[in-house]
Amino acid sequence: MSDDQSADDMTEDSLEETGEEFPEGAYPFFVAFRTKDGEIGVQLDIEALEAPEHAGVLLADFARHFAMAFAQSGKASSPDAALDEMLDLMEDELENPTDTPRGGISN
């Protein structure tokens, strides 16, 4: 996503590519992107989740979708193999972070 492209534009582009539509009134509440300097940026709408445990369910769903995508693309031998690899590195990253989240809440 470029600096002059909004999350709404990105969503419209994705919808055009996949042909899928969001339900009326739906909007992205999690956007991840690579910045110009190669860092990973994340924008969250924390108001979309009622409690921290809901984020846990969402992260598990994301992991399963990523695992399936890696297997379908041939980057992993199976969804289970991809998920195992992701969980191993996730545990390592949680125990020994390679960076610290920055930023804050803005309205």
Report the chain (107 residues): mean pLDDT per 10 consecutive residues: 42 52 82 91 90 94 97 98 98 94 77
DSSP state of 77: S
At residue 5, the pLDDT reads 40
Q: How far apart are CA 41 and CA 92, in angstroms?
A: 20
* Pair 105, 46: CB distance under 8 Å: yes
At residue 17, the pLDDT reads 53
pTM: 0.70
Positive or negative, the CA dihedral 9, 12, 16, 18 is positive
At residue 39, the pLDDT reads 87
At residue 96, the pLDDT reads 96
At residue 9, the pLDDT reads 47
- Taking residue 69's Cβ as centre, other Cβ atoms within 10 Å add up to 13
Q: How far apart are CA 73 and CA 89, in angstroms?
A: 20
